[in-house]
Structure 1
Amino acid sequence: MDLTTATWTDVRGLETDLAVVPVGSTEQHGPHAPLGTDVLTAEAVADAGVERVGREVVRSPAIPVGIAEEHRQFPGTMWVSEDTFRDYVGEAVASLASHGFDRVVLVNGHGGNVDALREVGGRLTRDGDAYVVPFTWFEAVGDHSADMGHGGPLETALLRHCDPDSVREDRIEEARAGAADGWGEWTSHTNLAYDAAEFTENGVVGDPNEGDAKRGEELLEGAADALARLLEAVAERDVSRPESR
C-alpha cells in the first residue's frame, strides 16, 4: 500500500509489519538526466520489488534530499549534513514503527547515502525501535554493478526504461564529451578529490550511451528480484537481539 495515496483508515486495517522507504537525492546528473534521478530510480525499484512479494507491504513516500555536498558546484543540487540526514531518516522510520510497521527496508538510489543508512539501520535495530536494513539497487544488479558511474550507463538505462521522457536525448553527446572515465582522482588507493567538479567537467562519470532501455529493463528486473528476496528474508527473520556472551 502506498501511503501517499492511501487514507489513514485504509492504513488502520493493515496487518503487515513490513515497509519500504525509498531514499534518493536531488543532485546533478549531467546535462541529460534530471536532478531527481536518484529518487526516480529508487522509487521504480521499490515499486517493482514490492509487486513481486506475495504479502502486503507499506510503501512510504520517498526521502528526496540526501548527502550530496560533493555535487555542490552544480546548480540545483540540494544536500543536508550527515547528522541531519541520519536523524531525519531515523525519525521517519520510527514514525512508521509507531504504527506497527517495524520491519523496514530502505531502498536507496544514491551512493553518498550508503554509509549513513547503514548507521541508521544499526542504531534503530539495536535500540529496539525497528528492524531496519538498507538496500542500494545498483549494488544488487550483478555484473552491471561494475559500470556504475554517475549519470552514466546504469542510471541512464534505468531512466530510459522507467521514465524515458526524463532523459534529454539531444544532450547525450554533450554528456559523453564532458564525462570522466571513473569516480575521483586516485593515488595509493586514496581518492584525492572531495567534489565531483574536481574530476568531471559536466558531472557525468561513465558513458550514458552504453545504457539503453533494454539494459534498463534488465537492471530493473535484477534489482527488483533482489529486493523481493530481501523483503521476504526481512519478513521471516528472527529479529530478537542476541544475548551477551
Structure 2
Amino acid sequence: MHLSEATWTEVRNLETELAVVPVGSTEQHGPHAPLGTDVLTAEAVADAALERTDREVVRAPAIPVGVAEEHRQFAGTMWVSEDTFRSYVRESVESLAHHGFDRVVLVNGHGGNIDALREVGGRLTRSSEAYAVPYTWFEAVGEHASDMGHGGPLETSLVRHVDPELVRENRLEDARDGAADGWGEWTSYANLAYDSAEFTDNGVVGDPTDGDERRGEELLELAADSLVRLLETVAERDVSRPQRR
C-alpha cells in the first residue's frame, strides 16, 4: 500500500510491521538523464518488489533530496548536509514506527547516501525505535554491479526501461564523449577529488550507450527479486538486541 494514496482509516486497519522507504537524490546525471534518476530508480525497484511479494508492505513516499554536494557545480543539483539527511530519514522512520511499521527497508538509489543510511539504521535499531536496513539496488544486480558509474550504463538502462521518454536519446553520444572512465582521481589508494566536476566534464561516469532497455528490464528483475528476499528476511528476523557479554 502506498501511504500517499491511502486514507488514515485504511492504514489503521493494516496488519503488518513491514515498510519500505525509497531514498534518492535530485542531482545531475549528465546531459541525457533526468535529475530525478536516483528517486525514479529507487521507487521503481521498491514498487516492483512489492508487486512480487505476497506480504503486506507499506510503501512510504520517497525521500527526494540526499547527500549530493559532490555534484554542486552542475545546475539543478540539490543537496542537504549529512546531519540533516540522517535526521530526516531517522525521524521519517520513527513516524512509521509510531504506527506499528517498525521493520523498515530503506531502498536507496544514490551512492552518496550509503554511509549515512547505514549509520541511521544502526542508531534506530540500537535505540529499539525500529529495525531499519538500508538496501542499495545497484549493489544487488550481480555481475552488472561492476559497471555502476554515474549516469552510466546501469542507471541509463533502468530509466530507459521504466520511463524511456525521460532519456534524451539524441544526447547519448555527447554524454559518452564527456564521461570519465571511473569515479574519482586516485593516488596511493586515496581519492584526491571531492567533487565530480574535478574528473568528469559533463557529470557522467561510464558509457551510457551500453545501457539499453533490455538490460534495464534485467536489472529491475534482479534488484526486485533481491529486495523481495530481503523483505522476507526482515519480516521473519529476530530483531531483539544481543545481551551484553
User: Which TM bucket (shorter chain)?
Assistant: over 0.9
Cα drift, residue 69 of structure 1: 0.2
Match of 1:194 in 2: 194
Write the distance in 1 (CA, Å) between the matches of 2:34 and 2:10: 33
Match of 1:225 in 2: 225
Cα drift, residue 51 of structure 1: 1.3
Q: Please give the residue correspondences for 1:29-178 in structure 2 after superposition, counting only pairs within 5 Å.
A: 29-178=29-178
Q: Secondary structure at the match of 2:62?
A: coil
TM-score of the aligned structures, taking structure 2 as reference length: 1.00
Write the distance in 1 (CA, Å) between the matches of 2:94 and 2:166: 33
Q: Please give the residue correspondences for 1:231-242 in structure 2 after superposition, counting only pairs within 5 Å.
A: 231-242=231-242
Contiguous gaps of at least 5 residues in structure 2: none
Cα drift, residue 177 of structure 1: 1.0
Match of 2:214 in 1: 214
Cα deviation 1:7-65 (Å, max 9, x = unaligned): 11110100000000000000000000000000000000000111111110000000000
TM-score of the aligned structures, taking structure 1 as reference length: 1.00
Letter of the 1:140 counterpart = A
Write the distance in 1 (CA, Å) between the matches of 2:54 and 2:133: 19
Cα drift, residue 4 of structure 1: 1.1
For these two proteins, the number of residue pairs brought into alignment is 245
Write the distance in 2 (CA, Å) between the matches of 1:131 and 1:40: 25
